[in-house]
Every structure is written in C-alpha cells, then in structure tokens.
C-alpha cells in the first residue's frame, strides 16, 4: 500500500500483538492498545488491478518466446542434464535426435578407433547403402572407422546432402553410439557441436579466451599444452572426448547470448 507499508496479523499468536513491517527491513512489535485507529489508515473497499500491456494480460499463462530476452537464459537447465552422458540418455527421445551427423563436430576429431561395425544404424540399407559409390564401397564395416567416413571427399550424400536434393541427412537419432567411446560424451558437448572454445565466453575474471580456458582446465587438473588446446580450433566436444569433466565447467554462469553459435 502507500509508502510500502503493510500490516500482517499473525493468527497463530495472541491477538493483542501484531507485526508492523516497514519496507521489509525494520520490524517492531506494538501492543494493540498503543495504536490509534487513525494510525491504521482508511479502509480499502474497491481495489482493481490493471496491466499496461496490450498483448499479455494479467494472469497470462503463456508468453511468446520472442519476448524472452536471450541474455536471461542460462546455458543449462540443471547440472544433471548438462553433465548427462549419452550412454544414460536415449538420443531418440531428445531433440538432439534430429541433429545431422555432419553438424555434431565429430568430423575434426580422432575417431580412428570407432568402427562402423560398432555403430548400429536405422536407415534403409545401412552403412553399405550410405557408402555406395564411394572409395569405401564393398569394404567390410569391421575395417572402416568413423574417421574414414568423415575423411571422404566429398562426403557421402546421406551425410552431406545437397541443398534442395530431397535427401534427409543422417542424424544422431539414426545411429546408436552406446557401444562406442562416444557414449561418455555429454549432451551439452553434442548440443554445441562444432562451436569452438573461443566462442564460449567464460565467467569473469577474463584475460583472453586462450588464457581463460587454460586457467579453467588447470583448475580441473588438465594442461592446455598436453591436450593441444587451441581455442580457435578446439571444441567442447574435443575436451569431452579427451576426458575433461565437462560437468565441472560453470555453464550455469554462461548466458546463451555470450556464445557465438554462428559457423566460422
């Protein structure tokens, strides 16, 4: 009410004492006999609430997503989600299932230890159909690694289809990585795909992206030189696969607006 004053009557206590609160800070207890009727002020009999907003009325249960400032959205919703490994999360039950394989950031990574024979696939014709017409056609899947596939130039049409060609790209939901070393990668690493570390601004204090990330990694017991970290080329996914505990990075303090998600 006026001057930010409110009267609260604690029903659980005796009725001859009540709490008089001003501004939510200073609190004093008064005997009821010490307060005159004129001190309490006039009685309010007709109170109306109006909102000066034509598009969203009082009590609105839905807000257009365009009206939410992106800077107010943290990178994570809960630590459990950001640190969840693929092995405990069925990709086909998450929005990531539609992420094209070429957009995951797997391409530049050392994937020579991951055989296609260890990656079940749902698309018609399997890996054999995808590799048809490439130098890997007819080669046993037990002899082909995921790195071999990404090294193809051009990439198979199913992995990198031409625009407007009507071919649906191979997506994460089409393959099963649960039996590969990639099963331990975190969802946040997959979600950010090929985004390099330089495009993820860490919380202050900040010096420069290379120093900031090396300082963070040092606090986690890792050395930038040993990992070969170059923030302009190294992705979060690369750190994840290298064994860095991604869940220990303070994603809750990194707003989405501070991350450059555009392709370089």
- Total domains in the fold of the chain: 2
pLDDT of 59 above 90:
no
pLDDT of 141 above 90:
yes
Q: What's the confidence (pLDDT) of residue 209?
A: 94
pLDDT of 222 above 60:
yes
Tell me if 242 sits within 8 A of 223, measured CB to CB: no
Residues 76 and 156 in one domain: yes
Residues 114 and 168 in one domain: yes
Residues 25 and 103 in one domain: no
Residue 178 CB-half CA count within 13 A: 11
Domain limits for position 31: 2-40
With bands split at pLDDT 50, 70 and 90, how would you rate the model's confidence at 172?
confident
pLDDT of 121 above 90:
yes
C-alpha to C-alpha distance for 167 and 158, rounded to whole angstroms: 7
Residue 234: inside a domain, yes or no? yes
Q: What's the confidence (pLDDT) of residue 80?
A: 42
Q: What's the confidence (pLDDT) of residue 96?
A: 63
Q: What's the confidence (pLDDT) of residue 95?
A: 59
Residues 16 and 127 in one domain: no
First to last CA, the chain: 55
Q: How far is CA 84 from CA 112, 162, 244, in A?
A: 24, 33, 14
Residues 13 and 132 in one domain: no
Residue 57: inside a domain, yes or no? no
Of 255, 92, 114, 264, which is closest to residue 179 (Cα–Cα)? 114
Residue entry with tokens 């990585």: 177
pLDDT of 89 above 70:
no
Residue 264: inside a domain, yes or no? no
Residues 95 and 218 in one domain: yes
Residue 67: inside a domain, yes or no? no
With bands split at pLDDT 50, 70 and 90, how would you rate the model's confidence at 237?
confident
Residues 204 and 86 in one domain: yes
Give residue-wise pLDDT tens across range 40-51: 555 666 666 665
Confidence (pTM)? 0.56
């Amino acid at each position: 009410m006026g001057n930010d004053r409110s009267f609260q009557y604690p029903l659980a206590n005796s009725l001859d004492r009540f709490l008089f609160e001003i501004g939510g800070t200073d609190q004093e207890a008064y005997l009821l006999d010490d307060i005159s009727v004129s001190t309490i002020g006039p009685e309010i009999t007709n109170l109306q609430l109006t909102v000066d907003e034509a598009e969203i009325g009082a009590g609105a249960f839905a807000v257009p997503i365009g009206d939410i400032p992106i800077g107010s959205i943290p990178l994570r919703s809960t630590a459990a989600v950001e640190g969840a490994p693929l092995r405990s999360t069925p990709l086909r039950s998450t929005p990531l299932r539609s992420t094209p394989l070429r957009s995951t950031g797997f391409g530049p990574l050392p994937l020579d230890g991951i055989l296609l024979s260890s990656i079940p696939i749902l698309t018609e014709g399997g890996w054999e159909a995808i590799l048809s017409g490439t130098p890997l056609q007819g080669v046993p899947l037990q002899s082909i690694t995921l790195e071999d596939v990404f090294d193809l130039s051009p990439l198979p049409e199913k992995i990198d289809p031409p625009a407007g060609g009507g071919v649906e790209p191979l997506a994460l939901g089409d393959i099963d990585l649960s039996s590969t070393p990639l099963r331990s990668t975190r969802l946040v690493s997959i979600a950010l795909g090929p985004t390099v570390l330089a495009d993820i601004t860490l919380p202050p204090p900040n010096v420069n992206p290379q120093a900031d990330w090396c300082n963070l990694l040092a606090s986690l017991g890792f050395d930038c030189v040993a990992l070969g970290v170059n923030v302009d080329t190294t992705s979060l996914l690369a750190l994840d696969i290298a064994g860095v505990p991604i869940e220990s990075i303070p994603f809750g303090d990194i707003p989405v607006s501070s991350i450059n998600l555009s392709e370089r």
